Structure 1
Amino acid sequence: MKIVFVCTGNTCRSPLAESIAKQLMPDFEIVSRGLMAQKGHPISPHSRELLRRHELPLPNGAQLFDAGDAEADLILTMTASHRQMIQAMYGPQVNVYALNDYVGEDLAVEDPYGGQYETYEQVFEQLTRMIEKLKSKLVTE
């Protein structure tokens, strides 16, 4: 199963989600993309530090979401607006959900870009919790 995590620039949230998911769900093909990513742009320093502290793999540089990604088994976005953008670009048949909706949580994953390290830690904790729920959901399906 191929899962694509999507945010805006593919430098903060979706790379964190990719690394967490790769550790928690090693049997899945996991990638991350951005809807407005600058190809090859490095992940944010705070995201890099969080991944280092948790001994998680560093994703490759930023990648732009494209038509090939739209064919993934499951596309999980950080917000409902990201989901809507993908549906507008690729149609309603795309298997795309906001991550929080898919795992039954109320709050979307807000963008920590430009924020303090503590904000990134909160996003990391939120993503870890959501991806643990995602793993449970996919294993039972």
Structure 2
Amino acid sequence: MSKIESILFVCLGNICRSPLAEGIARDLAQKRGLELKIDSAGTSGWHIDEPPCANSIAIARKYGIDISSLRGRKVSVYGDDVFDWIVAMDKQNYHDLLKMGFDESKVKFIGDFGLEGQEIPDPYYYKNLEGFEKIFAMLKTAIAEMYKQLS
């Protein structure tokens, strides 16, 4: 495997899962002394320039991570050569990335990193933090495993 220097996390709207993954990934990279370019985006354009949802901001803040300055963007703003890995939160986004023409060797499914194939569920409609706690824990597990594979 060639050296991985950049990771893009992708969900549907880029306001719940992928910004949370970006925040966790940056936090864990800093704590492990990894120098990585980390970003997030969505496959849809529904939330361009919007901040992460309030529950994503709140759960990240609970664990000492600030994602409030992030803004939604669509994955199409990036070319295929910008990131070494493009990590999809679920199978639908994985397939959408391939349909958009992203290099199959770069597109990864987050469920393959310590989650036994599980998708990160979309918590957009959750009314409380419980669902966000669950995805935070899943993301932290997956990203920690991802970083183990990079070392």
Q: One fold, TM greater than 0.5? A: yes
Shift of 1:10: 0.4
Instruction: Say yes or no: does 1:35 pair with 2:43.
Output: yes
Partner of 2:88: 77
| Off by >3 Å, runs of 4+ in structure 1 | 91-94
Range moving further from structure 2, 42-51 or 98-107: 98-107
Percent of aligned pairs with the same residue?
Answer: 27
Partner of 1:13: 17
Which structure's residues are more often helix, by fraction? 1
Q: Distance in 1 between matches of 2:143 and 2:113?
A: 10
Shift of 1:105: 2.0
Aligned match for 1:66, one of 72, 76, 80 = 76
Partner AA of 1:42 in structure 2: P
Instruction: Say yes or no: does 1:88 pair with 2:103.
Output: no
| Gapped regions of structure 1 (runs ≥ 5) | none
Q: 1:92 to 1:135 in 2, by over 3 A?
A: closer
| Gapped regions of structure 2 (runs ≥ 5) | none
Partner of 1:108: 119
**Residues matched between the structures, number:** 139
The question of whether the paired residues in 1 share the 8 Å contact of 2:115 and 2:141 is answered with no
